[in-house]
Structure 1
């Protein structure tokens, strides 16, 4: 037993049983750790953060919140401007001796980004993150922030951490956000890579902007709000920009590490003001006067550390992020922003209601989302920090389009969608594919097959004798593989209308269709085999969704028509079909009498006991120059015996009299259907040989449809 969070509990459990979501342990309460904690909290997870410090001696400087970083903060519910962050408005560059080399107005470029480029005080930002993480009024369970809690061991497989005082805490995920000298990184394969000095060190400090304004020699450097100024020497530079509502000026002074003797590898190592001035003694006197206003008590220095790219940031249930995974040199001001992007991506992939057993594969997905971008920006930072004397033109904003034009929440959400889609490779895609696989009669939105055993159908069919020579002209033009079984000039076909209802894929509702079914047709394959069935040249439906799914997924020749059914008790069944009020068809079944031997009556959609349906798929090529050319063209067969579920006839009525009338009208009345209805009108009726109405359950999804040849 071990004491965890003030209670005596088993050593493997650090959370109350009533807590919902994943149990997430975050090691480190810096910007990346707190950003991750907030995002994960908002996803409904329970988050514990373990920080080795007490935050008692926290110092800080300014931080760039470029549009990509500021966007993450906004999505986390944090308004940095409300905490004193000010707009980045201008970039000015000087040589070391004070010669002006470039001025860029950033007000207008700022407008092309969705979010502002802000300059914030690190402490103010950190405080805002802490408030958001631990707030009792925000969405989700407040994050538990455990200070003075140094982690000494991590088990990636069990998601367990061991604290310095012996406490053991188990979760579902461990997030390593413990900085450049990360312990958690050492538990990742390849994480034994050592950080190394980059050859540069940096002084950092803040001065009151008013102090610069009060000095005639330095006033020019502080007059413009939101102005970032860089003085470039051959192997050193000074970067200055305002923060805290333009009240403070932040300095980062990068120089060869051997000149300052900086031994510290963190941000809070005290520095000597005289050393600062000596390092930059050859710079413009006005610039030297400006840095000379540094408060000796706030002056810090640290070595700029770099690290080789490591092969992975994930092991089982352990993930590392921010400086623990990819420590940044400060030359672009993107270190914190990329760490916040890491946090955003993690919150997206560890979505609400995620099962604990799915964590390892989601962490791998997270790595695939973040690995290339973070390492690329890290390399950009190295390039931006090269010395001028190397003959390389230094351009701080050279990589801004790649850095700034990115929203990690949106990016990760899309990558998660695409990953989910890829988990079900056998899933229907239909236009428009940008929105993902299309749910329909054969699958739901997750690719799971539909249940249609309890769906109902009512099929009314009228079978009649007619001319084979007229019907065979409805075979696909130029295709000689379709033929009638009988050599005679008499053939049979049916108009069959079905009302489908209680369809799961339509939310329990239904639709109607009516088609022409030509019986006794064969298709001769390339190898000489013969397929027998009923040929369907046209099927009208009353709803867009089944029309589109049937055309694209199955190759069915579907068009729209209104289909209205009037049933007078059990005596008659009337069908009217039309387009925008122009009624082109009227079908009547009268004198309906119940049939006792229901099992002998087929419930197939053709109205007859056919082997299956033969259709012809045709998709045109795109574009005016490709008129008359097909992109895809082939025969399709739907074997009824292989379709699921099999329809079950429940009640049947035989008609004593049936008739139908087809009126093609003209192109004005039927502007999209006239050519079709005119051909149907040409079909002669020699004799009505049968008519019936069949009710039943079980609607086949036509998923047995397959290409012929």
Structure 2
């Protein structure tokens, strides 16, 4: 029997994972990516335990990742009236020691290369330069039309194409992407001496995330006018202006050193989209940021996308096995069960991430002291931490 053809829209972080998991079940997935080649965009990602558990389903992948173990998270305040350590967490270390799975930091571009390479080794076809224009559904398939004139008919479609999802637009029409009022500017820098030889991520109401033995990625969140999300690095002059003018460049605890020494500096706005009551229509389903875009302040964007991919693969195995004719009714049963399981969790975490961003970027001494007290209390109570982050 000819394998069931599946269209995966988006070859960033989650698309290759979804494709590999479906390939393992006997489907014939093909990835359609709008870019002409893999991207060097983005800074660092923290792949947490929930994300790594999904990636472990791909043989040999996690062991091959050129990332850095993150065992500790340290939180600092640089406010002159209330400076010092707010809290130190060793939860990732304890979970790694207890279960063998913890947290790693990795460059986004390195992770994408590893995932693309794993997909190719698994026999997944990747078509670069395919920007989705429209999709037309029939009783037994979906015809995809692309900006380059190509057309392809598949059995069903998984939209993994991020915040500016063309799949989402094709299903539900144009939507406004609402600017949150916050930007992030980030890059890479040599690891400050005080953190070398450690497995520590720092948060100085900016972030420092080790991505290898000698390098940290960093990001500064600020409340300022809108900056479009192009994911392109600043030119050298703009990067130098930022490093010279940013107050963070003078902070201690290593934060200022990271900013002053930053390279590949990128600036982008943070956006929200309306919450979707459903992620699918007929034979097409959305996962990851296409379904539930999130700000980065919990570090759960990629991890929740991986959870989506794992859950979708499991539900398709139960409702629409690759060896059987794939009916719309079977697909919708899988998609509806996916939504029932995933929408409550992702909605909670999207809201928490937004709250984290708003909480961190406050102005004035009283507001900053109040924020610091909130974090001291939160970081000292593991049960409260689990409740707050739904971990």
Task: Say whether the 8 Å CA contact 2:280–2:286 is kept in structure 1.
Answer: yes
Is 1:80–2:77 an aligned residue pair? no
| Larger proportion of helix | 2
Task: Structure 1: give runs of 5+ residues left out of the alignment.
Answer: 1-17, 213-218, 232-236, 406-709
Which of 126, 144, 150 is the matching residue for 2:125?
144
Q: Deviation string for 1:424-454 (max 9, x for gaps)?
A: xxxxxxxxxxxxxxxxxxxxxxxxxxxxxxx
Measured at CA, do residues 301 and 187 of structure 1 come closer, stay the same or move farther in structure 2, by a change above 3 Å?
same
Task: Say whether the 8 Å CA contact 2:46–2:209 is kept in structure 1.
Answer: no
The aligned runs of 1:121-520 (5 Å cut-off) are: 121-135=107-121, 138=122, 142-157=123-138, 158-189=141-172, 192-209=174-191, 212=192, 219-220=193-194, 222-231=195-204, 237-244=205-212, 246-258=213-225, 263-270=227-234, 271-280=238-247, 283-284=250-251, 287-295=255-263, 298-351=264-317, 352=321, 353-357=323-327, 358-388=330-360, 389=362, 391-392=370-371, 393-394=374-375, 399-400=385-386
Task: Say whether the 8 Å CA contact 1:32–1:343 is kept in structure 2.
Answer: yes
| Larger proportion of strand | 1
Alpha-carbon separation, structure 1, partners of 2:334 and 2:257: 53
Match of 2:104 in 1: 118
Higher Cα radius of gyration = 1
Alpha-carbon separation, structure 1, partners of 2:214 and 2:177: 35
Alpha-carbon separation, structure 2, partners of 1:230 and 1:332: 12
Q: Deviation string for 1:36-58 (max 9, x for gaps)?
A: 10111111000111001022652
Q: Secondary structure at the match of 1:252?
A: strand
What is the Cα deviation at residue 269 of structure 1?
Answer: 4.5
What is the Cα deviation at residue 111 of structure 1?
Answer: 3.3
What is the Cα deviation at residue 402 of structure 1?
Answer: 8.0
What is the Cα deviation at residue 360 of structure 1?
Answer: 2.6
Measured at CA, do residues 371 and 45 of structure 1 come closer, stay the same or move farther in structure 2, by a change above 3 Å?
same
Alpha-carbon separation, structure 1, partners of 2:171 and 2:144: 14
Task: Say whether the 8 Å CA contact 1:78–1:128 is kept in structure 2.
Answer: no
Name the count of aligned residue pairs. Answer: 361
Match of 1:439 in 2: none
Alpha-carbon separation, structure 2, partners of 1:147 and 1:95: 45
What is the Cα deviation at residue 348 of structure 1?
Answer: 1.1
TM-score (norm: length of structure 2): 0.85
Measured at CA, do residues 165 and 118 of structure 1 come closer, stay the same or move farther in structure 2, by a change above 3 Å?
same
Task: Say whether the 8 Å CA contact 1:193–1:310 is kept in structure 2.
Answer: no
TM-score (norm: length of structure 1): 0.48
Measured at CA, do residues 46 and 403 of structure 1 come closer, stay the same or move farther in structure 2, by a change above 3 Å?
farther
Match of 1:550 in 2: none
Alpha-carbon separation, structure 1, partners of 2:244 and 2:295: 23
Q: Secondary structure at the match of 1:178?
A: coil
Measured at CA, do residues 290 and 363 of structure 1 come closer, stay the same or move farther in structure 2, by a change above 3 Å?
closer
Alpha-carbon separation, structure 2, partners of 1:170 and 1:128: 28
Alpha-carbon separation, structure 2, partners of 1:146 and 1:208: 36
The structure, 1 or 2, with the larger RCO (C-alpha pairs under 8 Å, 6+ apart) is 2
What is the Cα deviation at residue 404 of structure 1?
Answer: 7.7
Match of 1:104 in 2: 89
Q: Secondary structure at the match of 2:26?
A: coil
Q: Secondary structure at the match of 1:355?
A: coil
What is the Cα deviation at residue 166 of structure 1?
Answer: 2.1
Alpha-carbon separation, structure 2, partners of 1:240 and 1:207: 10
Task: Say whether the 8 Å CA contact 1:188–1:313 is kept in structure 2.
Answer: no
Alpha-carbon separation, structure 2, partners of 1:311 and 1:67: 28
Task: Say whether the 8 Å CA contact 1:66–1:337 is kept in structure 2.
Answer: yes
Task: Say whether the 8 Å CA contact 1:119–1:243 is kept in structure 2.
Answer: yes
Alpha-carbon separation, structure 2, partners of 1:254 and 1:28: 27
Task: Structure 2: give runs of 5+ residues left out of the alignment.
Answer: none
Alpha-carbon separation, structure 2, partners of 1:177 and 1:101: 37
What is the Cα deviation at residue 312 of structure 1?
Answer: 1.1
Measured at CA, do residues 356 and 290 of structure 1 come closer, stay the same or move farther in structure 2, by a change above 3 Å?
closer
Is 1:33–2:15 an aligned residue pair? yes
Task: Say whether the 8 Å CA contact 1:160–1:169 is kept in structure 2.
Answer: yes
Match of 1:616 in 2: none
What is the Cα deviation at residue 313 of structure 1?
Answer: 0.6
Match of 1:437 in 2: none
